[in-house]
Structure 1
């Protein structure tokens, strides 16, 4: 009991020692107890003094989730998961004005069935690791977050979004002629309720930060330059709860959704490959890609 009380007291001090980038500050000095590792599309800065890692997506122009990014994401999370010094992860973007634009359309267009299956399996693996993580996960949403970007955010324990009316968040797959899989739907329903999810998914709705806050899609909306510092302060609040109690409770809440995907994983891949391989879907995706090219030019 004494040890638990000491731990509780110590973690309450974290709010004062966490910087926007998870950097421990003491007497005006920046701690050198930081470790960094970086892949092509994911960078991680781990602060041993606070137990917080900041994980940034860095795939220009919009952090679209291709096979390589998804793989790096899952590997980076796994490294942090087995790091005893890491208790929490702040997920954010290194690219201004965008959190993640979601799945890379080029991974789903003009490829063969084997590639589609490999891509979808990588997406499943990333989600299983993020949604099922024992660590505290906070999404610092510093830009727009449609489709798969919304999935990343909703999979975290807590979501903080920048207050910019140009930013949007939501599962808008139907607007592209794609159907969100059951596990997207399940966690969205758990977050905003059945009726709101039904409307959101069928209409492919994207919400402003203010509207997302109203329906519970995000937990806080703060000034753009306060997103990371707020995430650090919130992390300290979550750290005040003993890890074992929080982890067991999180597992209890999320296990049904995790188990459902694990049980139906192969069927889910088969369904995706069958759906995305349809001529009508491929044509729709090609039209969308051409539209993006024209918009970009």
Structure 2
């Protein structure tokens, strides 16, 4: 993750699909802290996979979990998101592959989003029998508005690249990853001459309510997650989903 002219490109590299387990979340969290400490001027978040940006939360962290491990997983996710969403430097998601669920959250947590054609993204948790937490929902609501977000979240809708652009889920479409990175760099260049303190203050002003909802309710949010995933019906749904993944891999 070298800094080039003060800009960092953070490339997720957890094969095969950059699923977000505790270790990966901790790595991202430490990376965002380091960038802030190094006075980063901008960050591009992308993937080493040619087909997947991030498949989202690692289901194995939620299937038959030990209580303390499940709590640590969720707290680490909260920590990572709070640091990314409140970053003092400008952020761009270069979405070079599919971005369901937690992958979509990572994208929505950035300020600007560029996507390649023929991929899909969205908060599709309801299709898996899971409920997207309120702060996930807030990120989508902030991007595409109340009514569109409500429809998308209830249905667990996955948007095509073109649909995502039309509804405002992304800002641009690029023809390939190289152009995706170029467009991300162009956005960061457009921000480079803005006074950083003023820019950060305005950004955090817009994001304050969403951040505060989690900051003041972290324990309650964790309890909701724990209570939910330990329900037998939810565990059964996760088991069926993991079985379907195994069949696809076979």
User: Quick check: TM above 0.5?
Assistant: yes
1:42-61 aligned at under 5 Å gives the runs: 44-47=1-4, 50-61=5-16
Distance in 2 of aligned mates of 1:251 and 1:266: 23
SS of structure 1 residue aligned to 2:2: strand
Gaps of 5+ in 1: 1-43
2:235 aligned with 1:282, yes or no? yes
Is 1:189 aligned to residue 141 of structure 2? yes
Partner residue, 2:31: 76
Q: Confirm or deny: 8 A CA contact 1:113 1:277 kept in the other structure.
A: no
38, 42, 48: which is aligned to 1:94?
48
Does residue 1:176 correspond to 2:131, yes or no?
A: no
In the TM superposition, what are the counterparts of 1:88-127 in structure 2 within 5 Å? Answer: 88-127=42-81
**Residue 230 of structure 1 aligns to a residue in which SS?**
helix
For residues 198 and 259 of structure 1, the distance between their equivalents in structure 2, rounded to whole angstroms, comes to: 21
- The alignment status of 1:206 with 2:158, answered yes or no, reads yes
3-state secondary structure, aligned to 1:217 = coil
Q: CA deviation at 1:282?
A: 0.5
Q: Which residue is equivalent to 1:241?
A: 194
- Residue in structure 2 matched with residue 35 of structure 1 by the alignment: none
Aligned-residue RMSD, C-alpha: 0.8
The DSSP-based 3-state class of the residue aligned with 2:98 is strand
**Structure 1 residue 119: deviation in Å?**
0.5
Question: How far does residue 45 in structure 1 lie from its aligned partner after superposition?
Answer: 2.3
**Preserved CA contact (<8 Å) 1:98 1:142:** yes
Structure 2 residue matching 1:54: 3-state secondary structure: strand
Query: Is 1:223 aligned with 2:175?
Result: yes
Q: Which residue of 1 aligns with 2:249?
A: 296
Structure 2 distance, partners of 1:81, 1:119, is 23
User: Which sections of structure 2, spanning at least 5 residues, go unmatched?
Assistant: none
Distance 2:2 2:165 in 1: 29
Taking the aligned partners of 2:68 and 2:189, their CA distance within structure 1 comes to 44
**Displacement of 1:238 after TM fit?**
1.3
| Superposed CA offset, 1:51-92 (max 9, x none) | 1000010000000000000001000100010103x2110000
Larger radius of gyration: 1
Q: Distance in 1 between matches of 2:208 and 2:150?
A: 23
Following TM superposition, where does structure 1 have runs of at least 4 consecutive aligned residues deviating by more than 2 angstroms? none
Shift of residue 186, structure 1, vs aligned partner = 0.9
TM-score normalised per structure 1: 0.83
